[in-house]
Amino acid sequence: AQSVTQPDIHITVSEGASLELRCNYSYGATPYLFWYVQSPGQGLQLLLKYFSGDTLVQGIKGFEAEFKRSQSSFNLRKPSVHWSDAAEYFCAVGVANQGGKLIFGQGTELSVKP
Amino acid sequence: KAGVTQTPRYLIKTRGQQVTLSCSPISGHRSVSWYQQTPGQGLQFLFEYFSETQRNKGNFPGRFSGRQFSNSRSEMNVSTLELGDSALYLCASSLRTSGDNEQFFGPGTRLTVL
């Protein structure tokens, strides 16, 4: 069965420091991969997605992610974190032949220290 | 273009009651998916509707049902509410029903069951 694992439940970084959020997936074929962000009391906003092609994808708000097939990973990165990046981040997999169903990881809560 | 809207935003019910939540997708979007978000289980897929037909269903009991209207608006219904149904219910809309399709999420309906 398909699954998504985000090993870090909570991460704290200092403002201006770099950030990497980890995501590992389990899926037989090339998955459709997404990163979403959720601020308190809000819905999910798409940061970036990977379907095929260049394994380094750029998203909104200065985020990027790299797809590594050999490691079944799709880690999210940002070179310099801003206080407004504090939120919960979700990695998700879209599965072929299952329509619009997304399988989400448990999420990583990001705190930013001033 | 207006985003995904969900009504009501907050709801308090008692055990045994039933509840109906509404979702209006982005204009032109024909697929609507529903997710349940809880601290313990995270984000879980409930079901997806496309062109008034249920296309996919998650692992939830039959108390959870939904429908979609000809204007793509969707409702989900939960009958015989249990305490464990307390959650944030998120609706997402997309143009198509496929794994490589970007989904746009609404702000959610916070359901509390007492």
Average pLDDT over residues B55-62: 94
**DSSP symbols for chain B:** ----EEE-SEEEE-TT--EEEEEEPPTT--EEEEEEEETTTEEEEEEEEETTEEEEE-S--TTEEEEE-TTS-EEEEE-S--GGG-EEEEEEEESSSSTTS--EE---EEEEE-
> Per-residue pLDDT tens for B1-54?
689 999 999 999 999 999 999 999 999 999 999 999 999 999 999 999 999 999
- The rounded radius of gyration (Å) of the Cα atoms in chain B is 13
CA trace torsion B94, A25, A72, A38 (10° rounding)? 60
Average pLDDT over residues A49-55: 90
Residue of A43, A49, A104 lying closest to B108 (CB–CB): A43
- Whether A96 has a pLDDT exceeding 90, the answer reads no
Report yes or no: A20 and A85 within 8 Å, Cβ to Cβ. no
pLDDT at B94: 92
Structure tokens at B55: 């296309």
Grouping H, G, I as helix, E, B as strand and the rest as coil, residue B85 is helix
Report yes or no: A47 and A57 within 8 Å, Cβ to Cβ. no
Average pLDDT over residues A69-80: 96
- Whether A97 has a pLDDT exceeding 80, the answer reads no
More confident call, A96 vs A77: A77
CA nearest B39 in A: which residue? A106
Average pLDDT over residues A12-23: 98
Return the DSSP state at B59.
S
Report yes or no: A26 and A71 within 8 Å, Cβ to Cβ. no
**DSSP symbols for A44-105:** EEEEEEE-SS-SEEE-GGG-EEEEEGGGTEEEEEESS--GGG-EEEEEEEE-TTSTT-EEE-
pLDDT at A30: 72
- Whether A100 has a pLDDT exceeding 90, the answer reads no
For chain B, say whether A106 makes contact (Cβ under 8 Å).
yes
Average pLDDT over residues A39-67: 93
Average pLDDT over residues A91-101: 85
CA nearest A106 in B: which residue? B42
Minimal C-alpha gap between B75 and chain A (Å): 17
Lowest-confidence region among A4-18, A89-103, B40-54: A89-103
Grouping H, G, I as helix, E, B as strand and the rest as coil, residue B83 is helix
Return the DSSP state at B1.
-
The letter for the amino acid at B51 is: S
For chain B, say whether A53 makes contact (Cβ under 8 Å).
no
For chain A, say whether B103 makes contact (Cβ under 8 Å).
yes
